[in-house]
Structure 1
């Protein structure tokens, strides 16, 4: 497995030394650009590590906490699809096997079902607090509606995925084809950076130009 130190150092090196266009720089500074994702690939020894960061909108079609049955199904489907490397990337050669994958989409995770607790304090106690409870209920309802509105219109969830591959013939890996475009049609562009122990580079990939050359 690639050490965290190497991966972090590689990312910092790429950020400092790789020239980017003004358009790409503006996109990277933007908090969320729908249809755009970022990819970082690092090669060390016999391992290839890939990190992908994308606005949730580009993957599942929304960027808030899943609440409807359709949104929950899309969230679960995306997590499953991202767990299989062939849905994301295919290497030109090298006999590479996926060793680990981590899918982080916490911002989309549906709320756990609430458990109701019944409390019986007697009819007199219930009558005494009837008007107060009614007012609190109305207040809570208004706050809940407002909170849900904020969640749906103010939140911008992201999906972060990391992969670690072990390649038995790493020297034969000359490129990586991003099948991510075929899996998720909402993706329009991927800003990719890559680094090996000898060199580094960057490229902008699209559905019609999805091959990342590594040599």
Structure 2
């Protein structure tokens, strides 16, 4: 079920058909690898679709809360509550290029271990994920050329972000690594286009 919504968005009604055609084989290949569960790594798919920017995120639950099961202690329950609050405030995690004039729309969180949404029924036991879809409504989404990503600061277990972007400018793959030292608290720019 992972990436189903994103693939559906990309294949059904993108204003820029060329980007959708280019993205489809790339996303199909990724769907075959969807169960690659790597601690410290988050996967982001970004699609600029008409007036929206949609960010689809896959992460081992450990990256987000520090464990991969339902919370047991009060401290773990608090960590889950704080992580969910941060994810629901996605406009603090993802600052889209101001030229696109975007506002946060629906946020869909999915995790079987946390009882959120409709999680992937094929998730391997003992390797719980947290998947999310963040939608941003924009007045000029096609003008977006970057997103400032604040996941490294928000979720200390994250060391690397692998992303793919489908935009009017084309299809792009980017990899972001946790900055060293004091810069780790600053957002990292995920850019594309010219």
Q: Normalised by the shorter chain, which TM-score bucket? A: 0.7 to 0.9
- Asked whether 1:182 is paired with 2:182, we answer no
* TM-score scaled by length of structure 1: 0.67
Q: Give TM-score, length-normalised by structure 2.
A: 0.73
Q: Tell me, which stretches of 5 or more residues in structure 2 are unaligned?
A: 13-19, 117-124, 180-186
8 Å CA contact retained: 1:14, 1:201: no
Pick closer, same or farther for the CA change 1:178–1:3 going to 2, 3 Å.
Answer: closer
Give the aligned length.
Answer: 163
Aligned 1:157-196 pairs, distance under 5 A: 157-196=128-167
Q: Which residue of 1 aligns with 2:191?
A: 213
3-state SS of paired residue (1:156): coil
Deviation at 1:170, TM superposition (A): 2.2
Displacement of 1:207 in angstroms is 2.8
**For the aligned residues, what is the CA RMSD?**
2.8
Higher strand share: 2
Whose helix proportion is higher, 1 or 2?
1
- Relative contact order, higher structure (CA 8 A, sep 6+): 1
2:73 is matched with which residue: 53, 68, 72?
A: 68
Which residue of 7, 11, 17 maps to 2:10? 7
Aligned to 1:99: 105
Q: Which has the larger radius of gyration?
A: 1
Q: What does the per-residue CA deviation read over 1:50-71, in whole Å, with 9 as the maximum and x for residues that have no partner?
A: 1000001111000011111111
- Structure 1 runs not aligned, ≥5 long: 19-27, 111-153
Q: Which residue is equivalent to 1:136?
A: none
Secondary structure, aligned partner of 2:178: coil
Q: Does the CA contact (< 8 Å) of 2:6 and 2:56 recur in 1?
A: no
